[in-house]
Structure 1
């Protein structure tokens, strides 16, 4: 398993494989023929960026058995998906901040993110599995009051697509045994979400295959697999940490609108 990261150092962006406190720098394309340069970059000398820059950022709703049962929801046969604005993506340590026009509740949702490594259009599950580059942590931040502001039109894209509402990171884990992993979200050190990924209703390869029937996916695109119980609103000044076994911890601070 490797952990791929993107970083900024002295105003220049790079990428490579993280090993403890050092990054093995690479050149080329992260998803095609990346080659090591031989340079070892100290982690302390860089700022980590979001590990992917998706052109399509897909999220799922109601994709965990325990949450569906608790909320009285039917088990979906196909992904119940929406699109997040790719411009909402930020990396580790970035500040999450709602728009100045919004004063309502802002909710964290810790999730497993699937990073696509090759084009997928009308693929079957076997080819979808092969097209997975790796996995990352996602905080699917939501302006909850915007979602239901108009009873005639649930505003998924608007509520979930505000600037800074798509933290990703800290890296992309390849060959991750996600079935044995758990998602944990801590707010100011207190764990508020802790659920097994094995409870997922529709699993990554099937999600990709079904979505690819309707929309092509490209290398670098991200699918957030949905969340389970425990997501609540954040207070300004809160530090939110999304951790997944084998990937690491995505840490961000939530602040009030400027």
Structure 2
């Protein structure tokens, strides 16, 4: 099922997407705790997209794809290497991402698969991890790439990754999805810049959830960005960026 959150007038809600009919089946209750269909339907033209969940934390992986590690000469990590993005950096499908001032340097897109946690996870085993994954969504891990290393004494991962809008994700959470069988494409101004198999991950989703749960408690709605692969480049202001994952959908945001 494809779950989404929406705004319609002053009202916010959530439901499932019927893409063929162009409608949302509105639900009540809580997304991660047995939501109930209300019987109401809304046309997509009646809603504005919200992020499909509201994470308490956003975790991003670095160096998690074999192809990118090979190209850059990076050693395979023995444990997940990650950073945190501020929850306030979240942006929904169709939401514009404000361009940074030129003084902060170039800004890059990074098309990624994101894991959405569905049940609290603390110190879980890899074979139990799947039960804690609610589903998957598309993400654009936007990065101020020159800001990262501007101070040689302190790499600025948090700042470079956490400007408003720098964690775009959506449009939906797909609960029936197998990352091992899917590919990701990123298009910038209509031109394909990334095209890679999600099966190329060094640490697959279940292992990521298990390992991260030993470092911190993962809560329902938390987001884990699985890292990116080849094809990351800076964006120009005004660029439309689309991250497409077959089986999930297309996340589209304009930068600037």
Q: TM-score when scaled to structure 1?
A: 0.96
- Structure 2: distance between partners of 1:82 and 1:125: 21
Query: Gapped runs of 5+ residues in structure 2?
Result: none
**For the structure 1 residues 215 and 102, does the alpha-carbon distance in structure 2 shift closer, same or farther, using more than 3 Å as the test?**
farther
Whether contact under 8 Å (1:25, 1:39) holds in the other structure is yes
Displacement of 1:4 in angstroms is 0.3
* 8 A contact 1:98–1:162 mirrored in 2: no
After the TM superposition, which residues 63-212 of structure 1 pair with which residues of structure 2 at under 5 Å, given as runs?
Answer: 63-100=64-101, 102-212=103-213
Alpha-carbon distance in structure 1 between the residues aligned to 2:199 and 2:99 = 32
Give the conservation status (yes or no) of the 8 Å contact 1:98–1:163: no
- Is 1:236 aligned to 2:240, yes or no? no
- In the TM superposition, what whole-angstrom CA distance separates every residue of 1:45-73 from its partner, at most 9, and x where no partner exists? 11111101100100000000000000000
Counterpart position of 1:221: 222
Runs (4+) of structure 1 exceeding 6 A deviation are none
Q: Name the count of aligned residue pairs.
A: 254
Counterparts of 2:147 and 2:104, CA distance in 1: 10
* Structure 1: distance between partners of 2:110 and 2:157: 14
- Could you tell me whether the CA contact under 8 Å between 2:117 and 2:132 is conserved in 1? yes
- Residue 60 of structure 2 contacts residue 85 of structure 2 at CA under 8 Å; is this kept in 1? yes
State the shift of 1:33 in Å.
1.5
Contact 1:111 1:225 in 2 (8 A): yes
Alignment correspondent of 1:252: 253
- Look up the match of 2:8: 9
The 1-side partners of 2:158 and 2:35 are apart by 33
**Deviation of residue 98 (structure 1)?**
3.6
Structure-2 separation of matches of 1:129 and 1:74: 28
Unaligned runs of 5+ in 1: none
CA shift at 1:15, angstroms?
0.4
Q: Whole-Å Cα distance in 2 between the matches of residues 186 and 134 of structure 1?
A: 23
**Could you say what secondary structure the match of 2:122 adopts?**
coil
Q: Is 1:52–2:63 an aligned residue pair?
A: no
Query: What SS does the corresponding residue of 1:129 show, helix, strand or coil?
Result: helix
TM-score, normalised to structure 2's length? Answer: 0.97
Structure 1 residue 103: Cα displacement: 3.8
Decide whether the 8 Å contact of 1:99 with 1:163 is kept in 2. no
SS across alignment from 2:209: helix
